[in-house]
Structure 1
């Protein structure tokens, strides 16, 4: 594992832990001010900027406190000198949902860029497969 890959792995693991713990400051850490996120719930056109990104998390934390999990199942990273991406599958569901659909996983793609020698998340995309 390269130093860049190890650093990005640590960033993603810290972020996922912060999401699971409902720690908004931890979720926002290592994200650029101009982050773009496409999420499962609306708005379909995504959110732009760290303030808009921050506003998306409190409703998720409320839902998660009902006993949902948020944990990385698998992850792969590709890193260049200044740009990288990570894609992962996460368990993001209530215990009830996992009983009825144990294989369901949230898909996560992160785009990162190096700013002043430090990796920062500039793009985030979450989705579930369409099962209709």
Structure 2
């Protein structure tokens, strides 16, 4: 597998993630992480360990939306070696929660991936929200 092919496969992994979120396809989303994935997602708790914890959180997140979520990826950067790669990007999540609250926020994300049995799998998922050091509050709708 060439470097270019690996990069293209990882770019496709991110595009598939966007499509799965739009379709509320939890199974497509949770089929990508390895069984013992470590995830630092925007939602509590501080960390998740294992695909089942990630699946449970993902189901709850998607189920919290009355409309959406919209999930737009920007500034995707991908690099890969033979069997190790990363995807770093910004994503804009939008929608209306079941509580009627609107969501519009930018999140920074990095996926560390390993090719296992010929397939790219997420071994570490890290997300963060920029915050204001003066107020200690997140800045949910910054423009990239």
Bin of the TM-score, shorter chain as denominator length: 0.7 to 0.9
Q: Is the CA contact 1:20–1:71 (under 8 Å) kept in the aligned structure 2? A: no
Tell me whether 1:40 sits opposite 2:61 in the alignment: no
- Taking structure 1 as the reference length, what is the TM-score of the superposition? 0.85
Larger-Rg structure: 2
Are the counterparts in 1 of residues 86 and 110 from structure 2 also a CA contact under 8 Å?
A: yes
Gaps of 5+ in 1: 99-103
Q: Which residue of 1 aligns with 2:82?
A: 81
Partner residue, 1:17: 19
Gaps of 5+ in 2: 97-101, 138-144
Aligned residue in 2 for 1:94: 95
Partner of 1:122: 123
1:97 Cα offset (Å):
4.7
CA deviation after TM superposition for structure 1 residue 29, in Å? 2.3
User: 1:82 and 1:64, CA in 2 relative to 1: closer, same or farther beyond 3 A?
Assistant: same
Partner of 1:30: 32
Identify the structure with the greater strand proportion. Answer: 2
Q: Distance in 2 between matches of 1:67 and 1:116?
A: 34
2:114 match: 113
